[in-house]
Each structure stands twice: as structure tokens, then as C-alpha cells.
Chain A
Amino acid sequence: MADKPIKSDPGFVDEVKALGGINVEACFNCGTCTAVCPLSSGASSFPRKMITYTQLGLKDKVLESPDLWLCNYCGECSKSCPREAAPAETMMALRRYAISQYAPPGFSSFSRMIYRSRAFAWISMILISLIPLVLMLGLHGPINSSSVLMFTFFPEHYIDYIGITLGVIILGVMLYGLGKMYYMTTRGMSGFQGEGHSANGIKWLQEFTKTLFKEVFIQKRLDQCNENSKGWRERLNSEWFTHMTIFWGFIGLLITTSLGFLIPSAISVPLTNGLYIPVTEPIRLLGTLSGLLLVYGATRAIINRVNKSEIYSSHTYFTDWAFLVLLLLAGLTGYSLEIAYYVNSPLLTYALLTVHLIVVFDLFVVAPFTKFAHALYRPLAIWVSRARQYIETT
């Protein structure tokens, strides 16, 4: 009782409502949501606690809690809510809020505006797309219309330079966000910051590895969300499978791209002249398969959202559409590019290359400010949560 009171921010509820917490005020704190949640546990109990924080305007409490990211948005809570307060939407809105708040100053308000204003989001996307377009229009080489010479049209090292510059900025922004999240979620916890940190080093590493394998590679918690679907047939139709295909598709493409840049010599055919690389070439094969997974996953996710078949696909924000559509477009333009190249249609190839690069550029630029950011925030939160539990039990 001697604790210093926390200040309430009366405007926070409205902020969360604007970010998608459509009916958070209707909650009367019965706790049914927390009881039915397949992922909530004694140590990290949600969504009721998060909703209470929201109603009372305790925004720091929200940002200090890794629990926000332990939710995988299955929608069971919203289904069972007696007041139709849509707790799953509030959790989603709070994650949007956290993404905008963890971002560096300036980026933070940009992120918040993208979520809150559809017009702002559209204009931003168009302006962002103009950057690679202008660069390509300004920097492209001779257009050979008799045969496809892709890297004569746009030299590969330009792509690399632009990509590396963008990557460094994005990585910096993401690292800032991760750092802020780590700082806020572990503030005041002994063993995380300051003394005692190194003593737990090995344990930390163990927990980190566990998190990486269980929650990133096989995404066990998301699988747990679908409690009733344990057979393979159900698994293939589950949200978990969709998510896994998108995740692994994306990772595969990321690896392919990086390898292509790092070890060009490993690829038998010189790339600089943009000649055809055989499909059987391992790195290329990996890229093709990953692209298939990505296109499959993104398509299914989009279909789910169009049909609104589940709670988790019923409320779609502009940013959700943008992310999924960009993913799908990245895959589709990639394959179209290959086909155009294969059928030797030079002008189409150059056009598709331009579109493909714009899409990929957009995808990376908005990554730290939109749903994409969960790919890094969620594993960190899970790891912090595990570590917190470990500290509390020892």
C-alpha cells in the first residue's frame, strides 16, 4: 500500500479505441476472457489485466508488460465475452500502440498516424513508393529491347547499395524499438538490468535458445491457440499453418537474397550480366520454394480476412491489408518477373523488376511501424517473460 500511486491518463482509452480497441469500455472485468484464453497463465494473466490498464489509462503499465505479446489473437476471448467488449481487438490495438511507442521519436508519430488515419497511410505508401521509382528512373542503364538484359537495365550493385542503406536504417530503428521494449519490460526487475545480470548469463542463453526454437521456428504458442485442432488435417487448415508458411517463406527469401549478395561466387553462373540461372541451382531452388510458401500463406490470410471466417480475421486495419498485400505482391511480381524473363520479353521484365523492387522496398520501410514488427517484438517479449518467470521462481 505504500507504493506511489500511478497517474492515470484519461485520454488513453480513446487512443486505444482509435487503434482498434473497438468496445473496450464495455468490459466489466468479469475475467471470462482470461479464463478461456488457452495461453494465459497464472504468471502472465491476460487479457483482463490489459483491459483494466486501458480503462484506467495506465499506458506505462501496458508498455512494461511483455504479456501483451504472449497473446496470439485466436479470438476465443471475444467469442466468450458477455459484454461483447471484444478483448481480442483491444489486445491487438494495444500491440499497435506498443509498436508505435517503442519506435524512435519521429518514427513513433509516423507509426501512430499510419494506424489512425487511412488517408495518411495511403499518401505515405505512395510517397514511399516514389523513392525507388525515382531512383530507378534516374539510375537505370540502357534498355535493350531485343533480348532481356536485366542487370544492364538496372545494375545489380545499385540494388545492393539501396538495399544495404535501407537495411541499416531499418535495422537501427528495429534495434531502437527492441532496446526500448527490453528496457521497459524489465524496468525494476532485478537480474535484468544492472547487478546480477551476468550471473544468469547461461540461463539467459538457454531461455533464448528455447524461445528461438519453440516460438520462432515452430511457433508452439500459436499452435496452442487452436486447442481443438490437433490432427494434421486440422493443423493444415489452421491459422498456425498459414502463419508458418508466411514466416518460413519470408525467412527463405531473406536467406536467398542475403546469400546471393554475400557469396555470388557460390553461384555457378556469373550474375553480373543477368544471365539465366538454372532452377536446380540450390540457392535459387530455395528462393523458388520460399516464394511458393509465401504466396500460399499470404493468399490464404487474405481470403480469411475477406471472408471474416474467424475472429482473428474479422477486423482488418489498413496496415494489416497493406502488409499482406505487399507480401503477396512481392511473391507474385517475383514469379511474373521470372516468367517474363523466361519467355524473353525484355520490356515486361524491366517493368516487372521495377514494380517488384518498389514492393520489396515498401515492405521493408513500413516493417518497424506496422504489424511486421511483431516478428521481432514477440520473440523478445516471450524471452523476457520466460526470464521473468525464472527470476520470480528462484
Chain B
Amino acid sequence: MKCRQEFKLTEGKKERIGVYVCHCGGNISDYVDVKKVVEEIKKGEPNAIIVKDLMFDCADASQSEMIEDIKAQKLDRVVVAACSPKLHEATFRNMAKRADLNPYMLYHADIREQSSWAHEGDMEGATSKALAHVRAAIAYVKSAEPLEKIKSETTHSVLIIGGGIAGLRAAIDLSRMGVNVMLVERSPALGGHVAELGEIYPYYTSGPEIVKGLVDELKGRDNVAIYTNATVMSYSGYLGKFEVKVKVTHRQPGSEYSEITLHVGSIIVATGFDTYRPPKGEYGYGTVKGVVTLPDLVKALGDGSKELIYEGRRIREMAFIYCVGSRQKPPEDGGHANLYCSRYCCNAATSQALTIHRRFNNVKIYHLYRDMRTYGRNELMYEDAAKGGSIFIRFDEDHPPLVAEDGDRCRVTFWSSLIENQPVDILVDLVVLVTGMEPRQNEELNRTLSLPAGSDGFYKEIHPKLRPVETNITGVLISGTAQAPRDVRETLSSASAAAAKAASFVLKNELELDPFVAFVNPQACEAHQECIKECPYGAIELVEELGKKARVTSAKCKGCGACVAVCPTGAIQLKGYTNMEIKSMIEELAR
């Protein structure tokens, strides 16, 4: 790792600054008097060697002009006053690079979103605000230091936690791309929940067949190592260089377990889900004979018998009750379970109904639902089920069906708005509670990984659209139902996405990361360790060899600044956002 941590002050040296104020066509100049800004800077800032206004700073010609200026005038700092840095900061940093200027000696001041657009119709106000921003930017670049991107070597291997279909799919994809794969599965067998499923719509492939297909593909690949009965004990390191300790339990007598250490460049978490278990009494679960959950039904259907019999009871009529444990009210309104829609359950239940209609004659199925969410292609399945003898009845959240015993059958009472809210009784032999997915109860692993979870308890990605498989721990990726309730197809696609992302990390020999990370001034550090407690990424440690000083692992640091705020001696600071840089900007703005 090359990471310059020294911190030099450049006082006394005469800076040579270039300032380029943009019109942005008229987007800026309509409300900011660009010429006036240029005049004021020229007047007040002797170190500003070049001060110009350009129609479009980002235009190729403008960029060439800047490069010429930097080279000819030996400029060592540049301020671009234009649009939001979100839009063009990278453009101008690349321009600086082409001019052989350290890209971090450039500051991109926003005078469009912050000035002209925010103060339409107030030319004077917008202009003075823009001027203040440019002055603050000049103050920043005066105290700026050249920075380098952090470079990190990578290990060409990936750890996959979880041997369900997501883990298996990711393993196959990575293996094919030439990445070494280590797969860790807690249970003795691969396949997870899917291995227990019956036919899956469409094409009616069974769960075990899907798992077998995936496992067969992995067999004979020499760059894949699979550890079953194995759990992750601890992990350390950062993107490109993780070290993971795994405990493997042996079934042979003698040695109970062994611990192995894996070195990987990236980690994919594919730990799956838990099924919602209704509490005793919910829709008669555990109190009325013949009330089961969807997974119970799936198991019962697995025996391939000609007649539908559950615990000795021949099933002629049955009822599915949907949204059990899903889409519930918040606890303050009396809800006891999950708020979210589990998405897959409508489809799973309808698919089971279709299987029943196809396999057994004359089984009548009543589906008591709140909303049918058989999205996409599953809509066809919904229609097929209805045409196959299923009857779908909507109930209202406030009037859920009641389940009671009636002789040796179950009586389901429900209210439908289509029958003047008069209750209707149906007698059935089996009541199936359509339960959803819940986040896997996996506290030990959660503590080890400290991955962020959303309000629903599932692992959370950085951005659902822009960065759908990455977490805020760089290099640790999530996939499958560990992230959200998903069906088989969606689980497999997200696993492939995570595999592709992991490969994009580890197939490079060297990774480049932004240089905006924390650094410690050893002279000032008094080992209070506040920073260590505060750091959400575990990037800071106390190093005895340095004489009990804090040290930042740059590749782990996200530059959030939490440590800077709590350090009592000001020993820890952020590169690119040093106290001095920020202070000088504030002073200039307050002037």
C-alpha cells in the first residue's frame, strides 16, 4: 500500500492560482454577474494569476485553454466556479491530470445550483453569494495538499457465505471467470430452502432438481472449495485483502472441529431467509387441527401420492389465507409482525394451487387474499389457477378471516365487500397460512460482519438502483434473499450480479480508491481511543509498536469523518478536508 500520510504546510510559498468562472450558457450568467465576480477576484486576490469567465468551462476548447494556462503560467492551483461538482468535478480533475497538475489541487465551486438557480431574480444576492463561494474555494486551494489515490493489491479469490441457490450460482459464475471461490455453508448440505421445495413455476422443475443442476455444474471445477458444516468466526481486512477465519465442524469422532483461515479479495453474503412462523393462535395455527403454513403444505405435497391427504384427513376443500405475518400494521397500531410485502408468497401459493389442481381431481381451493401480487409473468399463473378451479376472494385488512374447528373440519368465516359485508362460512379440510420471508436469525454472523440492515431487517445495499449489490463495507456484497424477499429467478439474477461485481474487484491486480481518508498526526495522538469506538468500519486500531498511537487502515476508511469529530486533541483528520482547509473556507465565507 502506498499511502502518503505526512502533512505539510505550505505557508510562505507564493501560490499561483487560476480561476475560471463559467456562464453555463446563461444558466449562471442570467442571475450571477460573472464579469463582476471576475473583476472582484482580480482586485482582491493577488495570487490569482489567471481569472477568466468562459461560456462553458466544461467545453473541450475551454479545457484546452485551462491546460495551456496551467502549463504556460505554471499554475499550481485551480478553482473552477461552475455547476455542481456532482456533475463535472471528475471532468476538471482529469483536465488537471492532463496538465500535469495534481488533481486534488483543484476545487470545484458550485455557483449554479447554489447561486443562480437558488436565487432567481436576485442578481445582486446571487452575485455576492457566488463571489463568496469563489473566495472560499481560493482559500481552500491555498491550503490544499497534493493527494494520491490509494492503491491496494488484490487477492484473486472470493468468499461466498451461504450454499443456497444464490451462493451456488455466484460460485459458478466466479469460477467460470477464473476467480478462486471458497464457499462456506453452515449446514451439512447445499441447496438451502430450495432443496425442500416441490415444483416451481414455470416449467415445473422441482427444487431438488434446480439444486442438483447447480451443484453438478460446480463439480469438477478445480478453482472451487466448498466447506459444509462451516461457520464464519471472524474477518478482518479490506477490499482486495480480507482475512476470514472459518470454523469447520467434523462429523468424524476424534477431531470435533478445525479452524481455517481464508484469504480473499471480496466477500459475497448469500445467507438466505427464515420463514415466518405464526404465533400460536394466529388464524388457529397450533390450536385448530388442519391449520398449516405454506412450507408445511409443500412438504406434504412432496410424497407423490395420488390423493391429497394431510395427517390422515382427505382434502376436498381447502383455504389459503394470504399475507400471514406480512403487510401488517405497525406495532403502535396493534401489529405484531412484518410491515413489508414479502412478494414471493402470492406466487408461491398460487403455484402450489396449480400443482394441486393438476395432480388431484376435485380439490376446491378458496384463496382469501388482501391483494394478489402475482406480478410479471406470474399473472398467467394466477389466471391459470382461477380457471383450474381456484376461487379468489378479497378480504379487508380490518376484517381478517376467522378460523375455528367444526367437527373434524375447519370453519373459515370471512367478510367480503362484494357481499354487503355479511360474513360467509366455508367448511374446509385444510387451512394453509401463506407465510412470507423474514430476515435470517443469524446474530453471530451479523455481529461478525456488522453489515447494515434496513428497517425490515434484511441486509441493505448502498443504493437500490445505482449500486444494488454493494454494501457500505467496500468489497462485501449481498445477494439473494439475504437482501430482500425474492423468488428463485430474482435470487439467481442477483447472485449473478454480485458475482460480476466481485469479479470486477478481484480481477484487477491493483485497486484505486479515493484519497479522502482519515490520517493520524502521531505527535498529537494521546491514545484516547474515542476514534476507535466511533469508527463504523473498524478502520482504526491502536498500534503498540508506534508507541500506543492510533493508525488508520486507509483501504477500510470511508472518509465519513466520525473520528475527526470525537478526537479530543485534533490528532485525526481527513485528507482533502483538513481542519485547516475547512476553517479557511469558513473564514472566507464569514468575511
Contacts and interface: CB of A to CB of B under 8 A. Distances in A.
A7 B425 contact: yes
B416 A52 contact: yes
A28 B392 CA distance: 7
Given A25-B390, A26-B386, A28-B392, A56 B424 contact: yes
B389 A8 contact: no
A78 to B, nearest CB: 15
A56 B386 contact: no
A58 B399 CA distance: 20
- Counting chain A CB atoms within 10 Å of each CB, the highest count among B382, B390, B413, B423 belongs to B423
Which of A10, A13, A49 is most buried by chain B, counting CB atoms within 10 A of its CB? A10
Contact of A1 (B391, B392, B415, B419): B415
Contacts of B416: 52, 56
A198 B316 CA distance: 50
Interface of A is mostly: loop
Contact of B393 (A1, A6, A56): A56
B590 interface: no
A1 B421 contact: yes
Interface in B365-390: 372, 382-383, 386-390
Interface string A1-15: 101111110100100
Given A6-B424, A25-B387, A52 B364 contact: no
Nearest to A23: B387
A1 B364 CA distance: 27
A4 B424 CA distance: 8
Interface residues of B, number: 28
B425 A55 contact: no
Contacts of A29: 392-394, 418
A306 to B, nearest CB: 29
A5 B423 contact: yes
Contacts, number: 71
A28 B423 contact: no
A87 to B, nearest CB: 14
Nearest to B364: A10
B388 to A, nearest CB: 8
B541 interface: no
A7 B424 CA distance: 6
A25 B391 contact: yes
A27 B419 contact: no
Given A28-B372, A58-B419, A6 B425 contact: yes
Given A10-B364, A26-B383, A27-B386, A61 B419 contact: yes
Nearest to A8: B426
Contacts of A13: 364, 391
B523 interface: no
Interface string B491-527: 0000000000000000000000000000000000000
Best-surrounded residue of A1, A23, A55 (most CB of chain B within 10 A): A55
B394 A58 contact: no
A361 to B, nearest CB: 41
B33 interface: no
A4 B422 CA distance: 8
B424 A25 contact: no
Contacts of B394: 29
Contact of B425 (A8, A27, A53): A8
Nearest to B393: A56
Nearest to B415: A1
A57 B392 CA distance: 13
A52 B392 contact: no
A10 B426 contact: yes
Interface in A1-47: 1, 3-8, 10, 13, 23, 25-29
A83 interface: yes
A388 interface: no
B317 interface: yes
Q: Which of A4, A13, A29 has the most CB atoms of chain B within a 10 A radius of its CB?
A: A29
B419 A25 contact: no
Nearest to A31: B418
7 contacts: A1-B415, A3-B422, A25-B388, A52-B416, A52-B419, A56-B391, A61-B419
Given A6-B423, A26-B387, A56-B426, 9 more contacts: A3-B422, A5-B423, A10-B427, A26-B386, A28-B372, A28-B383, A29-B392, A52-B416, A53-B419
Interface of B: 316-317, 364, 372, 382-383, 386-394, 399, 413, 415-416, 418-419, 421-427
Interface of A: 1, 3-8, 10, 13, 23, 25-29, 48-49, 52-53, 55-58, 61, 83
Enumerate the 3 nearest inter-chain pairs by beta-carbon distance, A residue then B residue, closest first. Answer: A5-B423, A5-B425, A8-B426
